[in-house]
Amino acid sequence: MKKLILLAAAGLMTFTAFAQPKEEKDGFQFTTVKANPITSVKNQASSGTCWCFSGISLAESEAIRLGTATPETIDLSEMFVVGNTYIDRAVKYVRTDGHVSYGQGSSCKDVFYSMKEHGIVPNSEMPGLNYGTENHKHAELAAVCKGFVQAIATNPNKTLTPVWKDALKGIVEAYLGKFPEKFTVNGKEYTPKSYFESLKLNPDDYIDFTSWTHIPYYEMSPVEVGDNWRWEYAYNIPLDEMIKVFDYAIDKGYTIAWGADVSEQGFTRNGIAVVPDPEYVNKAKEKGSDEARWLGVTAGSTKFEVKGPVKEMEITPENRQKGYEEKTTTDDHGMHIFGIAKDQNGNKYYMVKNSWGDGSKYKGIWYCSEAYVKYKTMDFLIHKDALPKDLKKKCGIK
């Protein structure tokens, strides 16, 4: 189910692990500038749980940074969090008479909320595959749970019984497995909460950020996406400071859970994310042009395939906001940023751990250009100590 790509305990990943060979003449040639420790690439498969995979990946990297785990010894259960979230979310759904979303999506911050409330367990204790497949497949589970909570929300008896949450828990456990109450790791017995405490993670230390022009800077506001059923708040910061946070954090050894739009042509399914300049694309359509070689376009075509470094669009707070308002930038996918690399032309890319398995060109790692991150970031979650001091002061974060 989960193929391991174990990384060196020291945490600095080599160029050869993630990039094309230097001798390759065409295409991207990446050199790692800084890469912080991550655990093996996982596969969310046919489940809408990227938020959990990215949040768990951040938690694992944080435990490694804190010295309570190594990449080889920590593999936390995404499905323990997902299962508890189905139940927690049902309570909010019923309380609001069905006026919050109920589905597979959520926020990466929900991972830390869940761990604070319920603890966490190793993946071996709850892999979440009770329904007979080798990979996650949640359409039926999601449909059954939603049908159940929709019925409860109508309050058919005019007074809710005290057992409806137990009934929903029974559904979740039928699909994902029993929630472990006690288990043993390295000869020591734990409960989910005591195991979480052993990792030394403080959920209150993880803060969410956005960057939009319709919200005052350095103030908190709800993250305005449908899957934010917990009504999580985030600090809103200017676009240039957002990029400074990413660079500062990575340099200091921190990683970032990243929510982004991945529905663009420039976000390839083979490990690259760029924002080609529209004029550059149009020029590339000219038959025989050099740009056509890098974009794989032909005259009259509206599609392209990024094959190497391209000229990218200049991203501003204004065109970024325009994408959000016009719904061309949407809440699509959660991933985990852990490093910085440069291509053969010196352009900067963020190294991103995805949760689509390790079958892509860079074994589950994506190289996302700075332009793409500036343009398509929805929000990001980070430890407060990874923030520059001046930003913490502006936001009133202690």
Residues 55-82 pLDDT 10s: 999 999 999 999 999 999 999 999 999 9
Q: What is the pLDDT of residue 14?
A: 36
Mean pLDDT score of the chain, rounded to an integer? 91
Residue 151: give the domain boundaries: 15-275+312-395
Q: What is the pLDDT of residue 22?
A: 43
Q: Is residue 283 a part of any domain in this protein?
A: no
Q: Is residue 282 a part of any domain in this protein?
A: no
Of 262-266, 333-337, 345-349, give the lowest mean pLDDT range. Answer: 262-266
pLDDT tens digits for range 206-218: 999 999 999 999 9
Q: Residue 185 belongs to a domain with what CATH number?
A: 3.90.70.10
Q: Is residue 144 a part of any domain in this protein?
A: yes
Q: Is residue 42 a part of any domain in this protein?
A: yes
pLDDT at 311 over 90: yes
Q: What is the pLDDT of residue 277?
A: 92
pLDDT at 391 over 90: yes
Helices 109-118 and 50-66, axial angle in degrees (round to 10):
70
pLDDT at 262 over 80: yes
Question: How many domains are contained in the chain?
Answer: 1
Side chain identity at 154, as an amino acid letter? T
Q: What is the pLDDT of residue 280?
A: 81
Instruction: Show the tokens assigned to 94.
Output: 């019923």
Q: Is residue 183 a part of any domain in this protein?
A: yes
- Report pTM: 0.91
Q: Is residue 66 a part of any domain in this protein?
A: yes
Q: What is the pLDDT of residue 303?
A: 78
Q: Is residue 351 a part of any domain in this protein?
A: yes
pLDDT at 177 over 90: yes
Average of per-residue pLDDT across 261-284: 90
Q: Is residue 301 a part of any domain in this protein?
A: no
Kindly indicate the confidence band of residue 146, based on its pLDDT and cuts at 50, 70 and 90.
very high
Q: What is the pLDDT of residue 175?
A: 98
pLDDT at 299 over 70: no
Of 86-90, 296-300, 357-361, 392-396, give the lowest mean pLDDT range. Answer: 296-300
Q: What is the pLDDT of residue 11?
A: 41
| pLDDT > 90 fraction of the chain, expressed in percent and rounded | 85
Q: What is the pLDDT of residue 7?
A: 35
